[in-house]
A and B are shown apart, each in its own frame.
Chain A
Amino acid sequence: MEKKENKEKNNKGILTYALKGVRILGFFLILGILLYMLQCMYYPKYNDQDNGMYDQNAHAFYAEPENTLDVVFMGNSEAYSAFSPLELWHEYGMTSFVCAKGASSMAEIEYNLTEFLKTQKPKVVVLETDVVFAPYTTKKLFDKNFQDEVETGIPIIRYHNRWKYTGPKQWFSPIEYSWKSPSKGQMIISVSEPYESEKLDLPDGAGEDYLNGRINPITKYYVNRIKSICEENGISLILVSVPNTLTGSKKNYQALNKYAEQIKVPLLDLQKEEASVGLDWTKDTRDGGVHLNTRGARKVSLFVGERIKKNYDIPDRRGSDTLSDLWDMDYNDYKKVVGGYLK
């Protein structure tokens, strides 16, 4: 009798816990469904800025024909200022794209690469290394990467504010990413502001490690993840350090060379090769030595393109098909815009 009562009690206890578990699951299920519905409503249906896509230039690769881009340049503002896919096309017939955002975090770069790989099969990924020496303290770096992990993982958080800009029409329309970047992700800035001072002011919040050749473990963690993604997809990863008078400390470059050797990833150190690139700091920078302008980008692109062409099997797609015509058209438009400046 007593045993039976105990058994009944135990069963009741188990039932209570099970019921609580079901309730908790039910709560999160309903909440999840509601949030997912909101996410579907607020997710950008078009890939241009006016329709709520952040960093439209970096995300314009969605509109490129599938599997047509052989090289992708990743990084921060240094990358979108220093690489010119249309110069590479004209000179080497190489189809490339700059998928970079200003002040990008490593987490965001990793996310953008995975997104890029959903529609493209590049042969080479170029990671510009300014992002390796981000001007943040470890805490800030952690904050920034955590923020981007959350935003990329839960899009409703990234696009939550779109209730301000979209009406019901967009809530239920299908996704149609057709906006193309005329410069294939490059930021065209044809202005020269020569490098003058010996030392520029460090940006706000720059950590002490900024110029001291210390690569933060958080950054290393993400570089390793990017490397793994490339390996899994049979892509060659190259690190390229574009000269920069702000972060270009000797210690940084020494550390970078050592790190590249450690992780066995080729490094194209343009700091060392500055003379061969032929950069002129009185003409090739748009902001006194931090970022390159279109003229500087042309020099860097031709130099880097030649190395890529030499060391990797990148096809020359010029004159091949309709794709070639499209690229030629874009190049001609680009030439019209910057031709005078580049003379």
Chain B
Amino acid sequence: MNFYSYLYFLCFALATYVVYLIFPKKARWTVLLLSGTAFYLFENLQLAVFLFAAAVCTFFTGKVLTSLQERFNTEKKELPKDEKKKLKAYYTKQKKMVVLSAVLVNLGMLLVLKYTGFFTYMLAAFMRPFGFSAEVKPLSFALPLGISYYTLQSIGYIVDTYRGKYKAEKNFAKLALFLSFFPQMTEGPIGRYDHLMPQLTAGKGYSSERFTKAAVLILWGLFKKTVISDRASYMASTVFNDYPRYSGTLIAVAVILYTVQLYTDFSGCIDIMSGTARLFGVELSENFRQPFFSKTVSEFWRRWHISLGTWFKDYVFYPVSLSKPFGALTKICTKSMTKFWASIVPTASALLVVWLGTGLWHGADIKYVVYGLYYFLIMLIGMVTEPLWIKLSDKLKLDRKSGIAEGLRVFRTIILVCFGMALFRVDSVTDFGAIIGKIFAFQDLNDIVNGQLFALGTDWQDFIIIGLGILTLLIVGILKEGKKDVLGAVSTGRIYIKWPVLMALIIAVIILGAYGADYGEVDNIYAQF
């Protein structure tokens, strides 16, 4: 999606907004449903069938689960305690079967469409040592827009209904709206039914404060995306697409630029979408909380793509940790290990499942599996070595909470994340190894000053703009960490603050945005999932 796509997306959103306001309050949600449907159909008419299938499956699963629960509630009333237990076990089993089937259908669509090529390739590679030598052409299908996001939303809804967190939605159209609300179709965040549905159907009207807040957030997102991210993308792409030609120094700069690109691309798009949703009175869940201020990698992932992290925590980590096999594992560990290891091993095992899933969610490729494992290993090392660090710092009488110590930990996290981003960007794990090798060879350091740096698609003026952009993000981020919401203050501030800031943002996006004839089109990185 480039600048112009955003422009017509915003035109589309504003047109929807006008129609939305004209409609009576109770019927406003239908405008959102229709616009979501139009948005999806315009993207790809044929592939919309998969979203429809997911919505139908999710809706009926919810209905069946609620009806099973209600039948259980009615039948148990006149039964003695023992019988109640039996009945509960019976209905729980029934519900589990329903959930399992529905999750398989939803996940099945995602697996077939997104992962068939990967699995056939892996299977062929696995069979090769056993004499299988036929050439396997990896199958690939066109992916429906946002399938990785709405599939997780569907599964979350089904599992929550199973858990009795809320009753199933009775209106199919409303459930379809939950899965197809257009601002969150392309990049999330992954929404929860109980959070979104009351807002989607509230039909909130116009309020100047909400409108300004929405506009500021949209402009802020456009600033991140078009001024910083797209500008940073050119050098990053040039170097990553042909890294053997470039020195380790240039590759290191490209890795940093790619990290900047990815963050400002993803968080910028989320801001644009959240601002758009805000027009309709919908507050999407927070997806980023200044991730580059994190002191550990675990903290980074609690602040980065938050909706994905919490989804995996709620629907993978906890169910896995509380499952029978893991209970047995915990028991074995408690019996045969020290207290420390007995607490580490089961948690690490559940984390391994989560990180394999997180890695694979990002893409059907072995490098994404390694990407997940990379973060898993860092977290595991962190968990295992934490007592050692505490002991060491106590012995050396170092203050772990001093500004310098915390700054160093933030710096360490940024470095580790940058390597993670490089792994995410490269074509293969082998390339990642080669890139790391080149960076740590510390050769051609003068490439930074001999003009090479500015000849790779991002010139010196671009670097200045990127630098100023990052500085702006940094200041806003630091203030936000200190509970001072600059964007909120601008939205609600006096006219002599609000107007200049709004105008400066609009002009910055128009004049400093990297779009148009001098720049290529830059796709949104997270829209490819």
Q: A: which residues have CB within 8 A of B? A: 20, 23, 27, 30-31, 34-35, 38, 54, 139, 143, 146-147, 150-151, 156-158, 160-161, 163-164
Contact = CB atoms under 8 A, between A and B. Distances in A.
A94 B517 CA distance: 34
B493 to A, nearest CB: 14
A164 B461 contact: yes
B523 interface: no
Contact of B503 (A30, A54, A139, A157): A30
Interface in B234-255: none
A160 B499 contact: no
Interface stretch (B3-11, B97-105, B257-265, B324-332): B3-11
Given A31-B506, A164-B461, A158 B517 contact: yes
Q: Is the interface of B mostly helix, strand, loop or mixed?
A: helix
A51 B248 CA distance: 37
Contacts of B4: 143, 146-147, 150
Given A20-B208, A30-B499, A147-B4, A157 B510 contact: yes
Interface string B511-529: 1010011110000000000
Given A27-B499, A147-B4, A157 B507 contact: no
Given A30-B499, A150-B7, A164-B461, A38 B516 contact: no
B510 A156 contact: yes
A10 B507 CA distance: 38
A139 B42 contact: yes
26 contacts: A27-B499, A27-B503, A30-B499, A30-B503, A31-B503, A35-B507, A38-B507, A38-B511, A54-B517, A139-B42, A143-B4, A143-B5, A143-B8, A146-B4, A146-B8, A147-B4, A150-B4, A150-B7, A156-B510, A157-B510, A158-B516, A158-B517, A161-B518, A161-B519, A164-B459, A164-B461
Contacts of B517: 54, 158, 161
Nearest to A147: B4
Contacts of B83: none
B178 to A, nearest CB: 25
A36 B8 CA distance: 22
Nearest to A146: B8
Contacts of B7: 146, 150
A163 B518 CA distance: 12
A160 B461 contact: no
Nearest to B521: A143
Contacts of A164: 459, 461, 518
Contacts of B459: 164
Contacts of A27: 499, 502-503
A59 B503 CA distance: 33
B180 to A, nearest CB: 18
A296 B510 CA distance: 43
B485 interface: no
A106 to B, nearest CB: 16
Contacts of A31: 503, 506
Most buried by B among A20, A38, A150, A160: A160
A89 B4 CA distance: 41
A146 B6 CA distance: 11
Nearest to B511: A160
A-B pairs, top 4 by smallest CB distance, nearest first, are A147-B4, A161-B518, A160-B511, A54-B517
A35 B510 contact: yes
Given A30-B503, A54-B517, A146-B4, A163 B511 contact: yes
